[in-house]
Structure 1
Amino acid sequence: MKARLKSCAVLAALLLAIPLALFSFVAPAGAATQLCGATDTVSVAGGEYIAQNNIWGADTPQCITVDGTSFTVDSAGHSNSTSGAPAAYPSLFKGCHWGQCTTGSGLPVQVDGDMPSVTTDWSTTLPGSGSYNAAYDLWYNTAPATTGAPDGAEMMIWLDYNGPVQPAGTRVASGVQISGATWDVWTTQMDWRYIAYVRTAGTASVDDLDLRAFTRDAVARDAVEEDWYLIDVEAGFEIWQGGQGLRTNAFSVDVGGTTDPPTDPPGDGRQCSATLRTDNSWNSGFTATVTVTNTGDEPLSGWTADWTFTGGQRVVNGWNATVTQSGADVRAVNANYNGAVPEGGSTSFGFQGSGPAPGQPAVTCTAG
């Protein structure tokens, strides 16, 4: 998705960085309102949320009808290439989007050890045609407020998608357990840091999705810094092609106190991720290192890493883990001295293989 990366970096800088408050039509709050202008917005739920039409990556038309914290894409004429940037992101948000702010949001909150709980409910209706995603968009800034583009990070959380679309950047992890579901993780660098979580089993709705847990995982991956601020939570649809019939049925965000959320069921707090890198390679073989990171809120007592070779590689030997192979599938289990990994900590193991260098295959980590 290199084309999309370039498009996102350029278009986001030139278009999204324009303050909406200066150029938008801001509709009066009240009954159902139709928005058709590219940057039209309307305040809803007593100012607690703002809906935006947000056509930013194309000149094609789009209209949405907003009724409280729900909206429907009435019409859309988008035909962007799925290898480039989306045409639009019609959405609802809570917080501050390029200087336009909701009231009583509880945001910003600092990303540190005392970050309050931030949970969200979202229900959607997703048509079977078109190329789009249903995704959250979270923005982090180095200071509590900004009148322009946030200078920290963007986090997208894809609940589902239709068509041949994917996040910007490169997939760096798979099988990551967060908030009761499994996610693939993508990262890249734009004018800000970018990280995306893609749900491996798509869903049209979530209840009490734990945004603090995603934030902590992003901190562990160096995508977000602890002294930054979460300033905005958005939920909507990145649309490349089509889009008519997409609907948000209901959306809410709750910013709570600094106390910890209710205790998870046993085992739910133990989570990990793993990445594989090739260290050296030659004509007939290579060496590689796999790093296992504790991304949960409990210490690990053990871990397993699984991946699949795609080029006929074979494991010759390994160290700091028991590494076995069946066909193209490889599994590594911790040694007796490195299974315990503290919260936020990491450990690594290595192996020698025959065949071509494997690059960076996705690795699934299972916590013990």
Structure 2
Amino acid sequence: MPFSTLVALSCLFSLGIAQTITGQYDCLPAGGFTLCQDLWNQSAGVGAQQTTLLDSSTETVSWSTNWTWANSPDNVKSYANAKSLLSNGIQLQNISSAPTSWHWSYETQSSDIRADVSYDIWFGTESSGDPASSASSYEVMIWLAGLGGAQPVGTQITTGTFIAGLTWNLWKATNTNWEVFFFASAIGDINSFDVDLNDFFKYLVEEQCVAPTQYVQGIQAGTEAFVGAGNLVTTAYSVSILPT
């Protein structure tokens, strides 16, 4: 094959990987994940956001999210995220481990930035229920960072709780349809996160009365943008659930 043809094919492959989405609810297939913009509350502010898929496979995904938002500094505007297509439909009591790895950085950020970097995990009574719906019983967020003083809503119910080798402050709130638990890092930003999510699941069952019969309905990872401007880059993210 001529060298020029190889170069052309290489360029086409690269262009196929580096895809950018800009619409409010635009999503992209990304190997074993779906990458979504999710500007669910954009009407609360003024701004723009785009999310770019950098690379993906069945096991891992990398992406960037660049955003600028103004107004209503205490309100989340968006949650650009990668959702696993394979880590769901299993009861908590039947999980042996849920390994995850997330390496990220805010490569740029304005002085007035307010944002978090977080997992958004959903439990429900039905294995096939949709996250964030009437089928959901619990939303579990794990905040690896709260930039610009951003903090969870609700009430803080523990301080300095040790889970997965790290220290967290636990918050709790009640939504119309489900309860929400927030594990907020008590040690600052965690840019390299390599843990077993099942440690959090076991804690919720043993200490917060979450029924072990609850199903994991979905696991997402991304950034909630409040105000300011920033560019989150995830160089590698993976998650899986292994049954007993």
Question: TM-score, structure 2 length as denominator?
Answer: 0.82
Cα pair 1:61 1:77 within 8 Å, conserved: yes
User: Whose strand fraction is larger, Structure 1's or Structure 2's?
Assistant: 2
* Structure 2 unpaired stretches of 5+: 1-14, 56-60
Name 2:146's counterpart in structure 1.
161
* Distance across 2 between alignment mates of 1:106 and 1:124: 21
- Displacement of 1:106 after TM fit? 4.6
Name 2:40's counterpart in structure 1.
56
Q: Which runs of 4+ in 1 moved over 4 A?
A: none
Name 1:77's counterpart in structure 2.
68
Name 2:178's counterpart in structure 1.
192
Name 2:11's counterpart in structure 1.
none
Name 2:226's counterpart in structure 1.
240
Q: 1:211 to 1:177 in 2, by over 3 A?
A: same
* Distance across 2 between alignment mates of 1:133 and 1:122: 14
Q: 1:136 to 1:223 in 2, by over 3 A?
A: farther
* Distance across 1 between alignment mates of 2:209 and 2:29: 31
Length, aligned pairs only: 215
Name 2:5's counterpart in structure 1.
none
Name 1:205's counterpart in structure 2.
192
**1:135 paired to 2:118:** yes
Q: 1:147 to 1:213 in 2, by over 3 A?
A: closer
Q: Which amino acid aligns with 1:125?
A: S
- Displacement of 1:175 after TM fit? 1.1
Question: TM-score, structure 1 length as denominator?
Answer: 0.56
- Displacement of 1:243 after TM fit? 3.8
Among residues 115, 123, 126, which one is paired with 2:103 in the alignment?
A: 123
- Displacement of 1:111 after TM fit? 1.3
Give the alignment's Cα RMSD to 1 decimal: 1.8
Indicate the structure (1 or 2) with the bigger Cα radius of gyration: 1
Question: In structure 2, the residue corresponding to 1:217 is in which secondary structure?
Answer: helix
Cα pair 1:41 1:50 within 8 Å, conserved: yes
Q: Which amino acid aligns with 1:87?
A: K
Cα pair 1:132 1:243 within 8 Å, conserved: no
- Displacement of 1:203 after TM fit? 1.3
* Structure 1 unpaired stretches of 5+: 1-28, 95-101, 259-368
- Displacement of 1:147 after TM fit? 4.2
Q: Which amino acid aligns with 1:188?
A: A
